[in-house]
Amino acid sequence: MQQARAPRSVFDDILGLLQQRRADEAIANCRQALDRYPDDVNILGLLGAALGDQGKYAEAEEILLRVIDLTPTFAKPYEDLGTLVLQQGQAERAIPLLEKAIRLDPKQEAAHFQLGKALAQVGRGQEADAAFERSFALSPTRGMMARAAEHHAAGRMEEAERLCRQVLQKDPRHVDALRMLGLIAAAAGDLDEAENLLRQALAGAPDHIPAMFELGRVLKELERPEEAIEVYQTLISLQPENPRAHYRLAGVLAPAALTEQSAAAYRRCLALDPEHAGAWLGLGHMLKTLGKQSEGIAAYKRCLEIEPEFGEAYFSLANLKTYRFEDAEIAEMQQRIESETVREPSKVNFLFALAKAYEDRRDYDQAWQYYEQGNARQRMLVSYDPVLTETVNDDLVAYFNAEFFRERAGAGNPDPSPIFIVGMPRSGSTLVEQIIASHSKVEGTSELPYIGRLTKSLNRNRADGMRYPQVLSELENRHFNRLGQNFLDMARMHRVEGTPHFIDKMPNNFPLVGFIHAILPNARIIDARRHPLDACTGNLRQLYARGQTFSYDQTDIGEYYLQYQRMMDHWDEVLPGKVLHVQYEEVVADLENQVKRILHYLELPWEDACLNFHNTDRAVRTASSEQVRQPIYTSGIGFWRHYEAQLEELKEVLEPILDRYATPV
């Protein structure tokens, strides 16, 4: 007997909700309709699909089995169930279901394609190829996209792009073609075009999970964390049981300085996938940042239990600065750097970790051998052009002269809340930040990328080729005010304590002091400075997660320090008194008077907490996180002397400025 069916309008309404990404409402409406029409296979099919998309596989499978029981001669429920179990990695179970779907309806193109995937996963390659070919014969477009995917995987981007554009000529809204073009654009470094293509894809398929993952990644690369966070949160609303979604969300929350939230997202990922090595590593980073060192160590070690060749976990232990490797751990790392299966970036991490291990044992000759090998290998993995650095600084010095600032007196946003800390990396900027952030009127936020992003934004859509800083000549005072407000708006998400002032501790902002003053004339700027030999040696001993590409060669780092000195001298000349220079060695030698000097410059009243900065409980995201949780110490002064015999190249480069500094002993 034919079962009663829900009205077509009910089915259409539920389908519309699913297309609008309102899955919870759609599921609720399915259940409501099934209360009245319990055997409506169309509504049951929608419910099974919706639950599967949310990762609720057990209930989805139960429902699809019921549909099969009600309609045993229909191909679609077999295809849906086969696809569902294949998504769970159960290829052996999927194969007979998909084969049954094809027997019932040989024209089910998607069933042929899913069968090909299942057969490939169990090693039945020839049969998989035949299934794919049948799928492509039924859908030439899918065949073109499959070939495009092969080209893309092999790095043949032009061929992949050509096929995608052919697909789009037939179907301008083809989601997979738009997504792949977005991937190609991102790989070429055109992130704006990648975003545009991925948003086009999602406009036609708002719940397309792969496109959402890629858009979130592109937005992160574009340093637009708020938007990336929103994308991943939407993705999680669609697939709350997807561990990769929580992992990606955690990876965006972390650089946005939302440390507690990032740790929670990593924990959620691990609850869903306890063997996710990357999530254990990320959680370790967050726990370290929050000052929970023992828990961070445990997370790093769990990562290594899962993935012993994960060199970054070993370096993360070394980067705690307080962890001491045992003999067995050193032997393990030495074995890994000789292994042919360990990837080059991991070998670099192992080398820097070994260097730190021997340094802690005061075997400086052995330590330097590992530092030298690690730096040489890392220098091959990064791209740095010292000539370009000098050329860019030439333009800045020529453009930001005293006349520029006289002509723009009174321009910019008058807000006095920002405090910028600039300087060479490894020069005490984290210590200065910790001192100031211990004040009740100041919040330490993060190394914010927004000043650099604002300068790059001025270059967009310039057909005439004019670039920053020359493009500033076309701006009026109101534009400088707006740029200052743009920075304040971007920084707002990092301000959670409601204090009158906040710190942007991005050391590499030192060439942008003139721009900062132009858009935020009342902002305070502090230059954290350290003796050139200690600062440069500190960089040669540090492996950075990203950026700081100048730091892996003695000549590169020495010349970069000369450029830093040059730029700070220039700002002192054209903006006298604007920047407060804080010498690390003087802070160590006379902490109280240096704290008074800093607070006087900032026009903040004295607070004992600034002197007792090591007691301040706050997240610290840099390599010095554990060091600034200790009282002031002198062991870092003159540390370069342990490697003096190996630093002749560096000393020769720095020779023009060394007499400006008292040599630390």
pLDDT at 494: 87
By the 10 Å C-beta count (0-12 exposed, 13-18 middle, 19+ buried), 556 is classed as buried
Judged by DSSP in three states, 529 sits in strand
**Segments making up each domain of the chain, as ranges:** 308-381, 386-459+467-658
pTM attached to this predicted model: 0.78
Residues ≥6 apart with Cβ < 8 Å to 395: 469, 470
pLDDT of residue 204: 83
Residue 571 has a pLDDT of: 98
Cβ-defined contacts of 214-221 (< 8 Å, 24+) = 214/179, 214/182, 214/183, 214/186, 215/182, 216/248, 216/252, 217/186, 217/248, 218/182, 218/186, 218/191, 218/194, 219/195, 220/251, 220/252, 220/255, 221/186, 221/191
Please state at what angle helix 175-187 crosses helix 157-170, rounded to 10 degrees: 150
Closest CA to 171 of 213, 147, 204: 204
Q: Please, which residues bridge with residue 11 across strands? A: none
- Token pair for residue 163? 């096929």
d(CA 570, CA 340): 49
Tens digit of pLDDT for each residue in 370-390? 999 999 999 999 999 999 999
Helix ranges restricted to H, 575-630: 584-589, 591-602, 608-611
- List CB contacts of 648: < 8 A, sequence separation 6 or more: none
> Residue 170: how many CA atoms within 13 Å on its side-chain side?
11
pLDDT tens profile 589-628: 999 999 999 999 999 999 999 999 888 765 554 444 445 4
Give the right CATH number for 386-459+467-658 from 3.40.140.10, 3.40.50.300, 3.40.190.10, 3.90.180.10.
3.40.50.300
Q: Tell me, what's the pLDDT at 621?
A: 45
Residue carrying the six token digits 């894809």: 201
CA–CA distance, 146 with 152 (Å, rounded to integer): 10
The one-letter amino acid code at 535 reads A
**Contact predicate 433/425, CB 8 Å:** no
Neighbours of 358 (CB within 10 A): 19
Reduced to 3 states (helix: H, G, I; strand: E, B; else coil), residue 150 is: helix
Q: How many CB atoms lie within 10 A of CB 413?
A: 20
Chunk the chain into consecutive blocks of 10 residues (it has 665) and report each block's average pLDDT, rounded to whole numbers: 74 85 87 91 90 86 92 90 90 92 88 88 89 81 80 86 88 89 90 92 88 95 90 92 95 88 97 96 94 94 95 94 93 93 94 96 97 96 95 97 94 97 94 95 90 89 80 93 96 90 96 98 97 96 92 97 97 97 95 97 96 74 47 81 96 95 71
541 in the Ramachandran plot: left (φ > 0), alpha (ψ -120 to 50) or beta? alpha
Q: Which pLDDT score, from 0 to 100, does residue 3 have?
A: 56
Amino acid at 147: R
pLDDT, residue 617, reads 66
